[in-house]
Amino acid sequence: MNIFRLAGDVSHLVAIIILLLKIWKTRSCAGISGKSQILFASVFVTRYLDLFTIFISLYNSSMKIIYISCSIATVYLVYFKFKATYDGNHDTFRVEFLVVPVGGLSFLVNHDFSPMEILWTFSIYLESVAILPQLFMISKTGEAETITTHYLFFLGLYRGLYLINWIWRYYFEGFFDLIAIVAGLVQTVLYCDFFYLYVTKVLKGKKLSLPA
Amino acid sequence: DDKTATKDEL
């Protein structure tokens, strides 16, 4: 464990909690892409199956349980409890265009052709594009609530910090996992446009509205 | 290879 990975995990946790609290407190999931939340929940479920087979550390297991439960709770709030506030007309990204290629790729490019490893690879590839329905929805509505932009900021930051963690681990431990690194790069690059808008608008107290 | 063993990251 190094400071960048810990900061990344904290940033990820903050993002997940911000979203859950935003929906719970405002009793509304306006502007939130339920499709992205379903993708994130499947990312955690497919990646953390080893929760029951391998014990790495209390930290590792508890974070996995928190991520899985929060993401499933968020999906529940969006599609059931606050369904009336779900903006389905703008959440129209065709997720099959993500899941099918990602599913195919995880069979073709992986470290080991075993079920657990293919599921882990699927999860890594899926996570790198899981935010697309959310970003697509914001481009369709042309704006985002400020709290939602904070959620996106921490979510984007987390994998960026993981990239630094992988540089650190390569330099000090000689460890690197090309699949995770390439997917992490794609994932972080997808946020670049948002990061630019976040820094130039939201941090200056303006509302995030598109086109810029 | 060793990658499948070291899934110590979240």
Q: What are the mean pLDDT values of chain A's consecutive 10-residue runs (212 residues total)?
A: 97 98 97 98 96 93 98 98 98 98 98 95 98 97 96 98 97 94 98 96 92 62
The residue among A9, A48, A118, A175 with the most chain B CBs within 10 A of its CB, best to mutate, is: A175
Is residue A166 domain-resident?
Answer: yes
Is residue A210 domain-resident?
Answer: no
pLDDT at res. A81: 98
Is residue A208 domain-resident?
Answer: no
Is residue A209 domain-resident?
Answer: no
Q: For chain A, how are helix, strand and coil distributed in percent, rounded to 5?
A: 75, 0, 20
How many structural domains are present in chain A?
1
pLDDT at res. B6: 63
Interchain proximity A177–B3, CB inside 8 Å? yes
pLDDT at res. A44: 98
Is residue A211 domain-resident?
Answer: no
> What is the least distance, in Å, from the CA of B3 to any CA of chain A?
7
The CB density around residue A195, as the number of other CB atoms within 10 Å, is: 15
- A contacts of B5 (beta carbons < 8 Å): none
Interchain proximity B1–A177, CB inside 8 Å? no
pLDDT at res. A51: 93
pLDDT at res. B5: 59
A177 has a chain B CB within 8 A of its CB: yes
Is residue A22 domain-resident?
Answer: yes
Q: Which domain holds residue A175?
A: 3-202
b/e map of A200-212 (b: 16 or more CB within 10 Å)? ebbeeeeebeeee
The residue among A112, A166, A173, A181 with the most chain B CBs within 10 A of its CB, best to mutate, is: A112
Is residue A212 domain-resident?
Answer: no
B6 has a chain A CB within 8 A of its CB: yes
* Burial of residue A57 (number of CB atoms within 10 Å: 0-12, 13-18, 19+): exposed
pLDDT at res. B7: 86
